[in-house]
Amino acid sequence: MMPGPPQVLGWAGEQVVSQRRLFSIGKIPNLPLGQVRRRLPTLFCACMGFFALAMALGKASAAQHADGIADRSNDPAPALVDAPEAQLADQSAAPGSIHGVIAEKDGTVCEGAHVALTLKVANSTSGSLSGLAPVREAISDASGRFTFIDVPPGPFQITVTSAGFIPETVMATLLPGQAYEVSQITMTMQETTSEIQVTASQEQIAQAQLKVEEQQRVLGVLPNFYVSYAPDAAPLNKHQKFGLAWHSVTDPATFLFVGIFAGIEQADNTFSGYGQGGQGYAKRFGAGYTDQLTGTMIGQGILASWWKQDPRYFYKGSGSARSRALYAIAMAVMCKGDSGHWQVNYSAIVGGLASGGISNLYYPASNRSGAGLTFENALIGTGESAISNLFQEFVVRKLTPHLPNYSANKP
């Protein structure tokens, strides 16, 4: 069947066609216009229902979205590992290391030195550096080298100590990540002062003082051995007492003066029983020397050792003239014991009596004194000792050359 020619529609026809297309597009059955109008209320209610359902679903979705945002706001912010600020902070806090060598002045490495590393912090008020407690310690190895690793950057101080050396200190600043090489630390030896105290025995001190006393001579000639000018003279032992006595009686000056007095006695015809001439002079010389020998050896050697008394005169040299004179006179009958205490001079008194008794054996019969005269002569001898001591205290020292200056040793 062949299609017919195109139909020409008027205004009414185009309206009908348009309505059909509309309902065809909206998937609404192709109903007559009257039925569509009757169904419009139902269609309107359906649309409103769909609209209300859509609004409810929208509100529920919005509430769920808000809860999700709140939960995410409580989570910690993720670390920005790759942020430039974090990278700079890590670089500024990177630890470094400190190395160095310790040696002596001659270049010899110093093994076993103690090395202390002290970190320094800046004082915010004054700006100065103040130290913390040593945080690291090390000992230099066989090559004199020391090492500190993982050291925080900033100011630091190295202190090196070693026995016999002056401590050395180095201050510097360690940069982040730096391997700091300290310039060679040279140790200087300490200047040591050794004080040696030599303590001699009492016998050695006494011997040294006795050697000085045996050189004492009045006017450089007359023996003056039995005087001690040392303020702290050590006591003599028995060997030293006998040695001093023997030195006194065998000194050439002793023989000289005994000879002079024998000549005076012969000229005055003292002890006439000895006669004149060479024989008479010899007898007088022998009697005089025997008196000197027995008096010295018995009183200042034997008895002084037995009773432990010092036979010397101890020079005072200080105080008033009166006190010194009384001291000199008292020393005729007093002496210092080996213990250092003052006591009656038994050895000199008894020694004088013994010597006088022995002299009765060799003096002429007409000149022998007997016991009474012996005691009388002993008293005279004591008086002569007092006068001799006064000369020792006030005169003899000034006439004795080359005496040590003991006052310089006083504190």
Angle value at C-alpha 131, between 86 and 156, nearest 5 degrees: 55
Q: Tell me the CA distances in angstroms from 59 to 46, 50, 51, 63, one per residue in order.
A: 20, 14, 13, 6
Q: Evaluate if residue 366 carries a pLDDT over 90.
A: no
Amino acid found at 320: S
Tell me, what's the pLDDT at 114?
A: 93
Q: In the structure, what pLDDT confidence band is assigned to residue 407 with cuts at 50, 70 and 90?
A: low
pLDDT by residue (tens digit) across 315-339?
Answer: 999 999 999 999 999 999 999 999 9
Residue 25: its pLDDT value, please?
40
Which domains does the chain show, CATH number per domain? 94-189 (2.60.40.10), 202-409 (no CATH)
Average pLDDT in the 148-156 region? 91
CA–CA distance, 254 with 100 (Å, rounded to integer) = 81
Q: How far, in Å, are 5, 106, 301, 311, 370 from residue 374 at the CA level?
A: 206, 84, 21, 22, 6
Contact 218, 224 (CB under 8 A): yes
Could you tell me the pTM of the whole model?
0.53
Under the banding of pLDDT at 50, 70 and 90, the label for residue 378 is confident
